[in-house]
């Protein structure tokens, strides 16, 4: 796919990540007006006023998450389902949640059509995490918050990794990698990014 070239040039070198990016067809996760731009390395609008992330950012976040084959992963912000599909190639099981039921329904339909069976997509406010399935080996947020939500830090296993954009919604945010150790939390700042905000509660259309 076209953007795989730009991934390598943007410093994504992990073979497992590049293979996963190659196996997932981004075109399946975009509908309507922007369909024909699916293979460009750019974020694009999806339903409910949200966006599918830029492929090179998906790759960088996936690489930073260092997913292992036995891992149970939690993604906050299903959106189109594209990032979850990439993670599903690398992990044992992926839980993904979104506050919009429409996005969750549409993503589930694509996973089914693509024969992806290790993703569980749920409608939920991800700022609370998913306590009933905790702890997780890896947690990824694809919406920005001002601080890492504490329920999510609690639901991360010791030895686990969390990757998230931190900062206010209308400015440039910082992509942060948090490593949970026996002694506490280690923070690493990776680069600047721009994501839609992590909002509390369920989307209005669910009410
Ligand atoms: N990972 C997605 C990109 C998602 S955009 C993809 O690959 O396409 C961010 C998503 O986060 C949006 O769909 C938005 O509805 C969702 N979101 C924002 N706040 C949330 C919250 N508190 N809980 C769950 N999802 C949330």
Ligand 1 atom with the smallest distance to the CA of 127 is 22
Mutate to test the pocket of ligand 1, among 25, 44, 50, 116 (most ligand atoms within 8 A of CB): 50
56 lines ligand 1 (CB under 6 A): no
Q: What gap in Å lies between CA 66 and CA 18, rounded to an integer?
A: 13
Bridge partners, 191 (sequence order): 175
Mutate to test the pocket of ligand 1, among 24, 59, 98 (most ligand atoms within 8 A of CB): 98
Q: What gap in Å lies between CA 33 and CA 23, rounded to an integer?
A: 24
Can you tell me the mean pLDDT for 157-180?
95
pLDDT band at 99 (very low <50, low <70, confident <90, very high): very high
Question: Which residue, by CA, sits nearest to atom 25 of ligand 1?
Answer: 98
Residue 67 has pLDDT above 90, yes or no: yes
Q: What domains, with CATH codes, occur in the chain?
A: 4-193 (3.40.50.150)
Can you tell me the mean pLDDT for 134-161?
97
Residue 204's pLDDT is what? 80
How many Å lie between the centroid of ligand 1 and the Cα of residue 50?
A: 7
How many Å lie between the centroid of ligand 1 and the Cα of residue 105?
A: 13
**What's the pTM?**
0.96
Q: What is the pLDDT of residues 10-26, one digit of tens each?
A: 788 899 999 999 999 99
Q: Catalytic: 145?
A: no
β 136-141/156-166 pair status = parallel
Cα dihedral 186, 192, 195, 201 sign: positive
Mean pLDDT of the chain: 94
CB-based burial label for 122 (10 Å; 0-12, 13-18, 19+): middle
Q: What is the pLDDT of residues 172-191, one digit of tens each?
A: 999 999 999 999 999 999 99
Q: Which residue has the tokens 């599909």?
A: 85
């Amino acid at each position: 796919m076209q953007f795989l070239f730009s991934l390598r040039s943007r410093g994504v070198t992990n073979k497992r990540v590049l293979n996963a990016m190659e196996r997932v067809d981004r075109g399946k996760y975009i509908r309507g007006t922007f369909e024909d731009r699916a293979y460009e390395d750019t974020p694009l609008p999806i339903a409910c006023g949200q966006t599918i992330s830029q492929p090179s950012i998906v790759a960088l976040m996936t690489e930073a998450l260092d997913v292992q084959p036995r891992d149970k992963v939690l993604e906050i912000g299903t959106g189109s389902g594209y990032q979850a599909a990439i993670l599903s190639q690398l992990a044992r099981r992926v839980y993904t949640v979104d506050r919009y039921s429409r996005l969750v329904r549409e993503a589930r339909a694509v996973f089914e059509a693509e024969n992806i069976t290790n993703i569980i997509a749920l409608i939920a406010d991800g700022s609370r995490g998913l306590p009933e399935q905790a702890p997780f080996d890896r947690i990824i947020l694809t919406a920005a918050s001002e601080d890492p939500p504490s329920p999510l830090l609690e639901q991360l296993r010791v030895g686990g990794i969390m990757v998230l954009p931190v900062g206010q919604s209308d400015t440039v945010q910082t992509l942060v990698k948090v490593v949970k150790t026996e002694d506490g939390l280690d923070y690493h700042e990776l680069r600047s990014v721009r994501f839609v905000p992590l909002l509390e509660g369920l989307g209005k259309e669910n009410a």
